[in-house]
Amino acid sequence: MRVISYNLRKHRAATELGVLVSKHDPDILCLQECDTAVLPETVGELTLVQATSGNRLGLAMYLRSNLFHVEEVRTIGLKKSLHDRVLKPANERVLGARLRDIDTGHGLIVASFHAAPLTALNSLRRNQIRAGLDALQALGPGLPVLMVGDYNYPVFKESLGQSVREHGYRLTLSDDRTYTRYRVFRGHYDFATSSGFDISSITTLPQGTSDHRPILITAEAA
């Protein structure tokens, strides 16, 4: 299974999606900071599963409908930062789907995730990550879970990795930095947390018009 995750930087990089999908041939596309009101129903051979509706700039997911059957989709609100309470940029920070592999009949859960911004504490983002994973597991207890997206967590990943492991999940970074706009903030922002998946690689793709670089996750349910 090939999954691309991309933060579109307030929808600015939306025009790149067709070429991105055509070039890298993903089975699933997870987006953050997209204008959900103007998303197309299809991108290449991928079909829109759902987009969040609680805020204009939100999350979306596309997939190959000939590979996966969508059984349930859920948008999840998480504990809010002060930035969220004052500016209200995002009410829904996880978009998860329980899927059924049409060929094998196996179930799996995939989600697009966008953590609170850097103005929040790392402890809040850790809380959001754990709560998001718990909510996804409730979609299908015992099923493999893959949550990809913008974690806004450029430093102290060792403590995050330990927290995720204690929760029964694995954190996997990409092969290069995903945020390069400001030197002081450069680092791995976009990555994956998972349970029940073997992740063979996460490749950081070339920079586009977004301040984030897209990532390509290659994974298989264990």
Report all structural domains of the chain as residue ranges with CATH numbers, in order of start.
2-221 (3.60.10.10)
Neighbours of 216 (CB within 10 A): 20
Nearest to 69 by CA among 22, 33, 120, 106: 106
Neighbours of 87 (CB within 10 A): 11
Please write down the long-range contacts of 73-76, taking CB distance under 8 Å and 24 or more positions apart: 73/49, 73/97, 73/98, 74/135, 74/139, 75/50, 76/131, 76/132, 76/135, 76/136
Mean pLDDT rounded to a whole number for the chain: 92
| pLDDT, tens digit (0-9, with 9 covering 90-100), for 194-208 | 999 999 999 999 999
In the predicted model, is pLDDT for residue 156 greater than 70?
yes
| pLDDT, tens digit (0-9, with 9 covering 90-100), for 37-85 | 999 999 999 999 999 987 778 999 999 999 999 999 999 988 665 556 5
**Entry field: residues in the chain:** 222
Helix, strand or coil for residue 26? coil
Neighbours of 41 (CB within 10 A): 8
Strand partners, 114: 150
Copy the structure tokens of residue 137: 């597991």
Task: Tell me how far apart the alpha carbons of residues 7 and 214 are, in angstroms, rounded to a whole number.
Answer: 7
Task: Tell me how far apart the alpha carbons of residues 121 and 123 are, in angstroms, rounded to a whole number.
Answer: 5
Residue 124 backbone dihedrals phi, psi, to 5 degrees: -70, -45
Name the pLDDT band for 222 (thresholds 50, 70, 90): confident
Would you give the DSSP letter of residue 56?
A: S
Q: Which residue has the higher pLDDT, 90 or 171?
A: 171
Return the residue matching tokens 């997939």: 63
Instruction: Give me the mean pLDDT over the 205-221 stretch.
Output: 96
Q: Give me the sign of the Cα torsion angle 177, 181, 186, 189.
A: negative
Strand order in the sheet with 107-114: 68-76, 94-101, 107-114, 145-150, 190-195, 170-172
| pLDDT, tens digit (0-9, with 9 covering 90-100), for 9-25 | 999 999 999 999 999 99
Q: What is the CA radius of gyration of the chain?
A: 16
Instruction: Give me the mean pLDDT over the 145-160 stretch.
Output: 90
| pLDDT, tens digit (0-9, with 9 covering 90-100), for 78-97 | 866 555 654 555 578 999 99
- Are 153 and 118 spatial neighbours (Cβ–Cβ below 8 Å)? no
- Are 33 and 10 spatial neighbours (Cβ–Cβ below 8 Å)? yes
- For position 159, what pLDDT does the model report? 87
